[in-house]
Amino acid sequence: MSNALRLAKGTFGRVALLDMDRPLVRHAHPHCHVLLKVEGADTQFSVKDRVVPLTDESAVLINAWEPHAYAHFDGQPATIILALYIEPKWLSEFRSNWRASGAPDFFTQTVGATTPQIRALTRELAEAMVHDPGDALAHERLLAELMIAVVERFAAWREQTVSLRIAASSAVDHRIRKAVAAIRADPGAICDMDGLASSVGLSRAHFFRLFETSLNVSPRVYLNVVRLEHAVQAVADGRQSFSALSQSLGFSAPSHFSRFFHDHAGSSPMAFRTVAALGTPDYETPG
């Protein structure tokens, strides 16, 4: 059964060490997302409409809001994967235009050949998370080295400017902005897409078409992204019961929340909370 082995969390976003032996549903993240194999069987992800390999010598590269799924096949052995979910603001501390990592076109490819340096840093970070889960400073230092190597290898960062898509976000139709604000304010209150479409004055078909044209994901995927990010923060924080969290996010039963979390995050909520407690939560670099 797939589960989180370790979790590091901070101003950089989060890094999860996942032991994966079951598929994940199609989903997205609001971050630049990098998947690196640590050990086990070679495997594969579906990114957009293409299945790409994750091997000892290849990385899977997923832009912010890009739909993807873990395409684990029946009978395939497990794979330990280092999954990086990186905040653009943190990356911009290395180079200002790396804030463009939050754009939907930061990585120009969905899979790329890794270097010996990337493979060594991947292993070193994974080992540090396993053997010393509380050493947040070491984790962030290693992650910084790894992400610098990844961006320099796989992103055309020398030509990157602030994404025109991000800059033009204020031009998104006011009804879609209203729907996004409602989702972000209280994702558990969104009962169905028909009701959300009606609340902003659009038919269901027009709402779906306009939403996806504006944000590159469907309203359902967007809602699930927001629910997952709320869930990840609350599960890692450890103060809210799963029952209360389930109810606050609009699930009819805790078991439905648990299945949603496992299918999107690759781990049960309990395992995720357990490994989150091993580290120092929400580490922030001083000064």
Residue-level pLDDT at 172: 83
Residue-level pLDDT at 164: 53
Residue-level pLDDT at 104: 82
Asked if residues 273 and 236 have their Cβ atoms less than 8 Å apart, the reply is yes
Query: What CATH code is assigned to 3-164?
Result: 2.60.120.10
Give residue 41's Cα distance to chain centre.
22
Residue-level pLDDT at 162: 52
What would the two tokens of residue 73 be? 């096949």
User: Domain segments of the chain: what residues?
Assistant: 3-164, 170-276
User: CA–CA separation, 183 vs 73, rounded Å?
Assistant: 33
What residue ranges of the chain have pLDDT lower than 50? 169, 280-287
Residue-level pLDDT at 285: 40
Residue-level pLDDT at 32: 93
Arithmetic mean of pLDDT over the chain: 91
Topology of domain 170-276, per CATH?
A: Arc Repressor Mutant, subunit A (1.10.10)
Asked if residues 230 and 187 have their Cβ atoms less than 8 Å apart, the reply is yes
pTM over 0.85? The answer is yes
User: CA–CA separation, 92 vs 112, rounded Å?
Assistant: 22
Task: List phi, psi (to 5°) of 15.
Answer: -130, 125
Task: List phi, psi (to 5°) of 244.
Answer: -65, -40
The sheet with strand 32-40 has its strands ordered as: 3-10, 13-20, 79-86, 32-40, 58-62, 111-113
User: CA–CA separation, 124 vs 271, rounded Å?
Assistant: 23
- Report the residue count for the chain: 287
User: CA–CA separation, 176 vs 219, rounded Å?
Assistant: 10
